[in-house]
Structure formats: C-alpha cells, structure tokens
Amino acid sequence: MKKYIEIQKEVIKDYNINLDINSKCRSRTHAHCDKSRRICKWNYSNSIQATFTLFYEIGHIETYRNYMRRCELEFYATEFAIELANKYDLKIPIYIIDSYQNYIFRELDKDLRRGGTNYLSKEYLTLKSL
C-alpha cells in the first residue's frame, strides 16, 4: 500500500488542485469551488485524517452545484471522499465517518429550524459506507 503523502500528491495532481497553505482567507481548511480549484490551510501529513480531509475538500470542488443546500454539499463531498478512499483501499476509522455524518445532520437540522422546506431526508443523507 502507498504511503499517505504519496497518495495525497497523486490525488492533488490527478484532480488539478492548487494548495494555498498560508492563505489569508478563513482560519480553517476549506476549498474554493471556482476555477482556481484551490484548497487553503491544508498541508501534507502522513495520516489517514489528513488524507481524508484532503479527499473531502476535493469532493467539495468536484461535486459543488450552486443550487444545493449546505447539508447536500456536505453529504456529496463526504461521499466523494469515501469513494476516493475506497479506490485507494484506505480504511477510514468509524469515528471520522461519524463526525462527518453528524455534521451533515446538524446542517440539515439547522436549515429545518430556520423554516426550510423540500429537504432531502435523513435516510437519503445517511452516508452509504456506514
């Protein structure tokens, strides 16, 4: 099996991602889903957590549609990350998947509290890999 940093470099090249480690925007890791294909505040690390975070941010870039609601954006980015991890035969610890699942549900609940309608169901927004 490839080391995590090798996989990270390969995926960044394959998906034409630009890293901005010292970005001045925001204080956390995030993706710019525009033509820049930029991921800010992320750096190489030989860990499954860093690798999955990278996959997830790439998932935002690859699956973004401006009509989607936040819970949908998070769901599709996470599903993309899981599929990419499976492609590389990486076993993602359940606590990582659970944290992303909880975030998706929190975003859905927040939108519903604000009076939103026609949202996807929790059943649909449940990550398939669980």
CA atoms of 118 and 96, how far apart (whole Å): 28
The answer to whether the beta carbons of residues 81 and 52 sit under 8 Å apart is: yes
Tell me the one-letter amino acid at 61. I
Task: Enumerate the β-bridge partners of residue 20.
Answer: 40
pTM recorded for the entire structure: 0.93
What are the strands of the beta sheet with 30-32, ordered from one edge?
Answer: 18-20, 38-40, 30-32
- Per-residue pLDDT, 130: 47
pLDDT 10s digits, 73-108: 999 999 999 999 999 999 999 999 999 999 999 999
3-state secondary structure the chain: CCCHHHHHHHHHHHCCCEEECCCCCCCCCEEECCCCCEEECCCCCCCHHHHHHHHHHHHHHHHCCCCCCHHHHHHHHHHHHHHHHHHCCCCCCHHHHHHHHHHHHHHHHHHHHCCCCCCCCCCCCCCCCC
- Per-residue pLDDT, 73: 97
- Per-residue pLDDT, 1: 56
